[in-house]
DNA sequence: CCAAAAGTGTTTAACGTACACCCATGT
DNA sequence: ACATGGGTGTACGTTAAACACTTTTGG
């Protein structure tokens, strides 16, 4: 048996980038500027180049579309069903991340004519490829990784914080978590756990229409717990 | 911007298949029959074909090497570092699984000259590609997925059971878990939890050198808990 | 002074964990 | 009979969960 040339798939990284916009959970989609599915909405993404890892590719594509540095990209799926692209053989590696809307500057990437945030419950009826499936899985992955409490390992990137800015009030954080996981949770218990495990107060307050709220930031690292 | 032909990587599925052999945790390696790394030990695996998913490819490769049906393949990593293959551009998708040694019939696959089980603490000094890294990650993935107690979600495939046969004694199960996770655990607590959550007695006993042990099997499914 | 969000402790239930002795078999 | 692994319950500590009122600001 000797080495011969197999047919090779194109390999793409697709990114499900979530943001919080006025209390709604949104996902970034781009309008495709190339065939196939020209003009349809799709997840941002692109083909992997020979001198980068797939994760680096995802980070690059995200940066090209949003200007946001692609840290905390979490790989959650691989889509390789034959025929998922009508004309070529394409395998997609899917990543999920979360970004703070305020620091996003939407740009059109190389293959995208436009980029837009969509409410996850008001997606376009038609999406390119199998991106409907991917988004469904992405939301689940977001839940699994954004969810901070409830038996969560402490070593994984925690996406919920990335939806917010550098500093935030406890209510803002709780609202973010509740939007992601769907259900409500007890204010006092939430604060207790989240302050104890993740946060430090900044000293500043965020003044709103009512009583000012203390601001918190993500504590750098719990020095040396578990191993 | 229009569509042009990118260079394309070869995409492979690599499988870290674990088994229990006389109380030792072993991993299946094959001796490569092709360049590069001809003659070196490597994880079983092979290139994805155009008419199959990557997971199906992993299942097929595993079947070719071991005769074991590749259920419960869990994808745990993607290896795409440029230069990880000295001559070609190859991206590897890595899967972990566990098999019951008794039902394995080792065969040499298409690209492999021989297959052998290695203790995870006595691996060959030199392995093909970055398979040392992959194995390290695979053991971690095995731990994460085989581990049954301790705040485990119930929906994921549980690899520990796959190390054993259809039926097994509680001690055999506990031994398997302890080998995987490294540390010991309390017999009474282990039995309580594992019987409550996963097992049903078969009625048979496994007679050994001492008092016979009741056999158990994995209970099909807890009908409708959570959601 | 009213509306709206911020802030704050205690009690109870569930779960995980530690722990020691008798039993059934083969030799 | 004895060595070896099989089998069994209870008590304690920790963690999660339920629960209601006071405080501070803007309008």
Q: In this predicted model, what pLDDT tens digit does every residue of A56-84 receive, in sequence order?
A: 999 999 999 888 887 889 999 999 999 99
Protein residue closest to C8, using CA and C1': A188
Output the distance from B143 CA to C11 C1' rounded to whole Å. Answer: 38
pLDDT band of A227, cuts 50, 70, 90: very low
Q: CB–CB of A6 and B10 under 8 A? A: yes
Residues A74 and A19 in one domain: yes
- Yes or no, beta carbons of B91 and A55 under 8 Å apart: no
Count of structural domains within chain B: 2
Shared domain check, A124 and A172: no
Q: Is residue A225 pLDDT above 50, yes or no?
A: no
Is A159 a member of any domain? Answer: no
Instruction: Determine contact: A133 vs chain B, CB below 8 A.
Output: no
Q: Are residues A133 and A211 in the same domain?
A: no
**B81 reaches A (C-beta below 8 A):** yes
User: What CATH number has the domain bearing residue B173?
Assistant: 1.10.10.10
CA-to-C1' distance for A188 and D23, Å?
15
- Mean pLDDT confidence for B84-91: 95
Q: From residue B107, give the alpha-carbon distance in Å to each of A172, B28, B30, B98, B163.
A: 58, 11, 10, 17, 19
Same domain? B30 vs B101: yes
DSSP string, A78-138: EE--TTSSSSS-EEEEEEEEE--GGG------SSEEEEEEEETTS--S-BSTTHHHHHHHH
Q: How far is the CA of A188 from the C1' of C9 (A)?
A: 9
Q: How far does B75 lie from chain A, in Å, by closest CA?
A: 9
Same domain, A15 and A123: yes
Gap from B150 CA to C16 C1', Å: 9
The answer to whether the CB atoms of B75 and A80 lie below 8 A apart is no
Q: What percentage of chain A has pLDDT greater than the value 70? A: 88
The CB density around residue A152, as the number of other CB atoms within 10 Å, is 16
Q: Tell which of A146, A176, A201 closes a domain.
A: A146
Q: What is the distance of C-alpha B132 from the center of its chain?
A: 15
Q: Is residue B76 part of a domain?
A: yes
Q: Which of B183, B152, B74, B180 lies closest to A153 in space, CA to CA?
A: B152
Q: Do residue B138 and residue B214 come from a single domain?
A: no
Count Cβ–Cβ pairs < 8 Å, chain A vs chain B.
73
Q: What is the pLDDT of residues A2-61, one digit of tens each?
A: 455 778 999 999 999 999 999 999 999 999 988 899 999 999 999 999 999 999 999 999
B112-125 tens-digit pLDDT: 678 999 999 999 99
Instruction: Look up the domain containing A202 and give its range.
Output: 166-218
Mutation target vs B (from A3, A7, A8, A147; most B CBs, 10 A cutoff): A8
Q: Which residues of B touch A10 (CB under 8 A)?
A: 6, 8
Residues A87 and A181 in one domain: no
Distance CA B157, CA B18 (A): 15
Closest-CA residue to B99 (of B129, B62, B153):
B62
- Whether the per-residue pLDDT at B223 is higher than 70: the answer is no
Residue A138 has pLDDT above 60, yes or no: yes
Is it the case that residue B8 has pLDDT exceeding 50? yes
Question: What is the arithmetic mean of pLDDT over B15-36?
Answer: 94
> What percent of chain B shows pLDDT beyond 90?
70
Express each pLDDT in A168-179 by its tens digit: 999 999 999 999
Given a cut of 80, is residue B147 above it in pLDDT? no
Instruction: Answer yes or no: is B151 within a domain.
Output: no
For residues B106 and B170, state if they share a domain: no
Contact between chains at A10 and B11 (C-beta distance less than 8 A): no
Higher pLDDT residue, A113 or B154? A113
The pLDDT-based confidence of A208 (bands split at 50, 70, 90) is confident
Q: If we measure between CA atoms, which residue out of B49, B28, B47 comes closest to residue B101? A: B28
Domain boundary, last residue among B92, B118, B146: B146
Which of residues 184 to 223 on A have a Cβ less than 7 angstroms from any strand C atom? Answer: 187-189, 191-192, 205, 208-214
- Enter the tokens of residue B126: 């030199």
d(CA B60, CA B72): 13
Tell whether A181 and A71 lie within a shared domain: no
Test mutation, A11, A76, A114, A143, chain B, max B CBs within 10 A: A11
Distance, Å, A159 CA → D21 C1': 33
Q: Rounded to an integer, what is the distance from CA A204 to the centroid of its chain?
A: 28
pLDDT for the residue B65: 86
Residue at B33 is within a domain: yes
Q: Is residue A192 part of a domain?
A: yes
On whether residue A140 sits in a domain, the answer given is yes
pLDDT at B219: 87
Q: Look at residue A151 and tell me whether its pLDDT is greater than 70.
A: no
Identify the band that residue B2 occupies on the pLDDT scale cut at 50, 70 and 90: very low
Same-domain pairing of A104 and A191: no
Share of chain B above pLDDT 70, in %: 88
Mean of pLDDT values over B126-144: 96
CATH number at residue A53: 3.90.79.10
Residues A31 and A125 in one domain: yes
Nucleotide minimizing C1' to CA distance for residue A169: C6
Q: Which two tokens stand for residue B12?
A: 């492979």
Q: Say yes or no: B107 contacts chain A, CB-CB below 8 A.
A: no
State whether residue A147 sits within 8 Å of chain B by CB. Answer: no
Q: Inspect the interface and report whether the beta carbons of A8 and B8 lie closer than 8 Å.
A: yes
A117 lies in a domain? yes
A204 and A176: one domain? yes
Which neighbouring-strand residues pair with B10? B90
Residue B149 contacts strand C, CB under 7 A: yes
Determine, yes or no, domain membership for A160. no
For residue B158, pLDDT over 90 is answered with no
CB atoms within 10 A of CB A81: 17
What does the pLDDT average to over A75-99?
A: 96
Residue after which a domain boundary falls, among A89, A112, A146: A146
């Amino acid at each position: 048996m000797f080495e011969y040339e197999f047919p090779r798939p194109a390999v793409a990284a697709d990114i499900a980038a979530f943001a919080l916009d006025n209390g709604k959970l949104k996902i970034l989609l781009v309008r495709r500027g190339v065939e196939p599915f020209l003009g349809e909405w799709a997840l941002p993404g692109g083909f992997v180049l020979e001198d980068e890892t797939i994760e680096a590719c995802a980070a690059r594509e995200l940066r090209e579309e949003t200007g946001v540095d692609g840290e905390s990209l979490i790989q959650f799926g691989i889509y390789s069903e034959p025929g998922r692209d009508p004309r070529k053989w394409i395998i997609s590696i899917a990543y999920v991340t979360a970004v703070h809307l305020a620091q996003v500057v939407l740009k059109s990437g190389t293959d995208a004519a436009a980029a837009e945030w969509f409410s996850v419950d008001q997606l376009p009826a038609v999406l390119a490829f199998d991106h409907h499936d991917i988004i469904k899985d992405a939301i689940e992955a977001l839940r699994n990784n954004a969810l901070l409490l409830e038996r969560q390992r402490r070593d994984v990137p925690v996406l919920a914080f990335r939806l917010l800015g550098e500093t935030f009030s406890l209510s803002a954080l709780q609202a973010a978590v509740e939007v992601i996981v769907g259900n409500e949770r007890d204010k006092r218990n939430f604060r207790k756990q989240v302050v104890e495990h993740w946060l430090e107060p900044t000293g500043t307050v965020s003044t709103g229409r009512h009583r000012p709220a203390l601001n918190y930031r993500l504590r750098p690292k719990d020095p040396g717990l578990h191993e």
